[in-house]
Structure 1
Amino acid sequence: MRNPVFDYYPRGTPLIRSTRIDDAMNAALSRGASAGAALDAMENAQVDQLRDDEEFAQEMRDAYDAAGVNLVSATMGSLDSALTYAEGVRRDLARWQARIDALDWMQKVTSPEEARTVVDDGHVGIVLNVQNGGAATAGDVTEVDVLHNAGVQIVQLTYNSRNLVGTGCTERTDSGLSYHGVDIVERLQERGMIVDLSHCGTQTTLDAIETAEKPVAVTHAFSRSLADHDRGKSDEELDALAAVDGYYGVVAVPFFLDPGNPNAELDLFFDNIEYAVDKIGIDRVGIGTDWGSWTPEIPEPLRGGLEESFTGMGFRAEHGVEVGVGFGPMSSYEDWQVIPEGLDERGFTPKEQRKLLGENFLNFWERAR
């Protein structure tokens, strides 16, 4: 039986560039498209190449193998400002289905049981997520059903800003979960979907934990006690999460873990894991690197435009977002193996490592259904 290795990886696929993919980016930019639209053009070209180029598809497969990750949660959406959030989600859902249809070793997984089967078969499982549930559902609770029917399993209630569901973590004030937000949480859990509070404000996080009848998750965050940053989670939030037997994934984002510093040391990532384990227990902590939209694989011509996109999504100058940086020895997704190596160096036993790297997430998913 193979060990599950899970990561909250918004990009979902290693960004392997080719002449075809770069040509698609350059053509979009030459037409005056935004960086986000050009990135979508690259994704569309990638799908086409996965369909008809076996060597390219094998290169993608090899990249996952090098990373050692066999379960990834990919974010549905687009950074193309010409699209509404909901439109971006729908287009990306179609794009991901096309990838899965093209590859016999990539499978959508909609339950922990399916995830274990995919892992045992030696394949790569994709757990679809949405990072702004309020924008994706646009005030209509029944849109949760649409997302569920498309295979989405994890829904973050807010991104950084306030929406109809609640308040994000970078807003000026936090009014908590709305009545509509209560309805969304209830509908998500009725459908067996995971309620994600990673980018939610403190009061919204606490309200959602109190409202939920099943365990909830913070799939990708860090401790505000270690890094004073809006994206971090307070001890109060961690205590509340532990009280409902929830799940907490730790990010590997340098300018969050050492606010404003894109050259932060990877040791800070492991410091956050140790802190979380001490705070909420070894059985509730996992990995959520948040890798992909800000990392060195992003082509240089897109970096400035993508930084502007993040500004429009609730990140301000003091949040230190920088596109095109790595994290110590991690410069591409294929470097992911430094994570289990670091856990070993920190003294986590093989059993504890298996929990942190994937078992904890699957066990939580079973509790949350």
Structure 2
Amino acid sequence: MQETAGGYRGYRSFDYLEPHRDYKVFELAPEIGRVPEHDLGLTDGQQERVARLLREQMAISLHEHPKILPADVSQLRDYNRTGRNSFGFEGLARSGMTAVFDNFMNGTGCVTSEHAWKWDDVIYDIGLRFADVAKQDHVVVATTLEQIFEAKRNGQLALVAGLEAATMIENELDRIDILYGFGVRQMGIAYSQANMLGSGLSEDRDGGLTHFGRRAVDRMNKLGIAIDISHSGDQTSLDVIEASRVPVFITHAGARSVWNTPRMKPDEVIRACAERGGVIGIEAAPHTTLSADHPHHSIESVMDHFTYCVELVGIDHVAFGPDTNFGDHVGLHDSFTQHLAIGKAHGVVDHPRVPYVSGMENPAECFSNIVGWLVAHDYSDDEIAKVIGGNIIRVLQEVW
């Protein structure tokens, strides 16, 4: 069924095509109810406040992969090779979000190669997603702040196209312009492994931002593409913050002082980002934002990073980029460890493994639970409005 503006009407990915004939069909993971709901213990009054805040305020996820994984995650590589990832329209319609920074396949994109970050793969990925989105009316592609505001007024959800690295531009600076023309409005520097721009966080030695990387930062500034340093090495991150004329994002990470692995950011980088007006989005992908107080990864672990960052740099510089999808995210990591270079990036700190992150398992539940946690811990309406979207909007007003 076709969707209409202002409400989800049941569209599923590729409904405009004939299954099996026009595209290969995979059994998909459920968008809703794959794991038990997380009980925050809210009263009826607190639940009403959560609903009101999500209704009134702009809730923006700074980083997600809102695709639906195969039910059998061992089929993920074959699924990704088709270039067609089903999008979680139904789940997102229940999320309470105003906008989502969609980062597509990114490090798992293997349409034409065994390894990710090929130019053709990125174009396949973006084009097929946008074709799917164009066939319905609830999710709308946004390339300006006004389009995000309009989506909020219309009861729609805005999709902002993001890429976790600039690896696929190789040494072609004009490819940044091409990606901008295709709708990309946020892009990372390096994804764990080093590239022409700088070092990723899995490298033993971080050479910092290269000469070409400085030119790329300048081009992104001129175009109005928000820069992400989540997967960049520490020195490269500091160099990008210094080189950029506008604030940058750490779209999805946590604090290394809370959980000591390379995937988390040191205080020095978080402070430098905030001092230049930037924002850190708190991560929730499995086995990343753990804490000594909550080593079994859950929303409580995630919020330990949130509270630490708020104390470190102030509430004006913290947001959320949960980095979730619909399906077995732990299985995804297990399938793509070498491609993602996450084994080393996550470090060797011992911790209990969990099958999913309770309370932050998928894009449908993250923001209602985040707001619920903030309500339960007596944050004010103004404080909640800032961290669920307002801080991101402030940065985008400078960048875009």
TM over 0.5: yes
Question: What amino acid is aligned across from residue 264 of structure 2 in structure 1?
Answer: G
The percentage of counterpart residues that share the same residue type is 22
TM-score by length of 1: 0.83
In structure 2, relative to structure 1, the CA distance for the partners of 1:98 and 1:262 (3 Å cut) is: farther
Residue 333 in structure 1 maps to residue 363 in structure 2:
yes
**Aligned mates of 2:392, 2:320 — CA distance in 1:** 9
Residue 114 in structure 1 maps to residue 147 in structure 2:
yes
Contact 1:270 1:343 in 2 (8 A): no
**Aligned mates of 2:168, 2:129 — CA distance in 1:** 17
Question: What amino acid is aligned across from residue 91 of structure 2 in structure 1?
Answer: A
Question: What amino acid is aligned across from residue 59 of structure 2 in structure 1?
Answer: V
Query: Paired residue for 2:79, among 5, 20, 38?
Result: 38
**TM-fit CA distance, 1:93:** 0.8
**Aligned mates of 1:137, 1:282 — CA distance in 2:** 35
Contact 2:64 2:363 in 1 (8 A): no
**TM-fit CA distance, 1:270:** 1.1
In structure 2, relative to structure 1, the CA distance for the partners of 1:171 and 1:229 (3 Å cut) is: same
**TM-fit CA distance, 1:323:** 10
Q: CA RMSD in A?
A: 2.8
Contact 2:202 2:345 in 1 (8 A): no
In structure 1, the partner of 2:211 is: 179
**Aligned mates of 1:363, 1:299 — CA distance in 2:** 31
Residue segments in structure 1 that go unaligned for 5+ positions in a row = 48-59
Contact 2:328 2:356 in 1 (8 A): no
In structure 2, the partner of 1:310 is: 337
In structure 2, the partner of 1:68 is: 96
**TM-fit CA distance, 1:213:** 1.0
In structure 1, the partner of 2:255 is: 223
In structure 2, relative to structure 1, the CA distance for the partners of 1:142 and 1:126 (3 Å cut) is: same
In structure 2, the partner of 1:319 is: 346
**TM-fit CA distance, 1:11:** 1.6
SS in 2 for 1:46: coil
**TM-fit CA distance, 1:285:** 1.1
**TM-fit CA distance, 1:62:** 4.2
**Aligned mates of 1:343, 1:272 — CA distance in 2:** 13
**TM-fit CA distance, 1:146:** 0.7
Question: What amino acid is aligned across from residue 325 of structure 1 in structure 2?
Answer: P
- 1:155-195 CA distance string (max 9 Å, x none): 10001011110001111111100000000000001001101
**Aligned mates of 1:214, 1:364 — CA distance in 2:** 8
Residue segments in structure 2 that go unaligned for 5+ positions in a row = 1-54
**Aligned mates of 2:290, 2:329 — CA distance in 1:** 24
**TM-fit CA distance, 1:82:** 3.2
TM-score by length of 2: 0.77
In structure 2, the partner of 1:8 is: 62
**Aligned mates of 1:244, 1:281 — CA distance in 2:** 13
Aligned runs of 1:72-87 on 2, under 5 Å?
72-76=100-104, 77=106, 78-80=108-110, 81-82=113-114, 85=117, 86-87=119-120
In structure 1, the partner of 2:386 is: 355
Task: Tell me how many residue pairs correspond in the alignment.
Answer: 336
**Aligned mates of 2:65, 2:207 — CA distance in 1:** 31
In structure 2, relative to structure 1, the CA distance for the partners of 1:332 and 1:209 (3 Å cut) is: closer
**Aligned mates of 1:317, 1:242 — CA distance in 2:** 27
**TM-fit CA distance, 1:242:** 1.4
Contact 2:252 2:320 in 1 (8 A): yes
**Aligned mates of 2:85, 2:182 — CA distance in 1:** 22
Question: What amino acid is aligned across from residue 339 of structure 2 in structure 1?
Answer: G
- 1:81-101 CA distance string (max 9 Å, x none): 436522221111111211221
**Aligned mates of 1:240, 1:120 — CA distance in 2:** 35
Moved over 6 A (4+): 259-262, 320-324
In structure 2, the partner of 1:273 is: 306
**TM-fit CA distance, 1:198:** 0.7
In structure 2, relative to structure 1, the CA distance for the partners of 1:172 and 1:308 (3 Å cut) is: farther
In structure 2, the partner of 1:144 is: 176
Contact 2:160 2:184 in 1 (8 A): yes
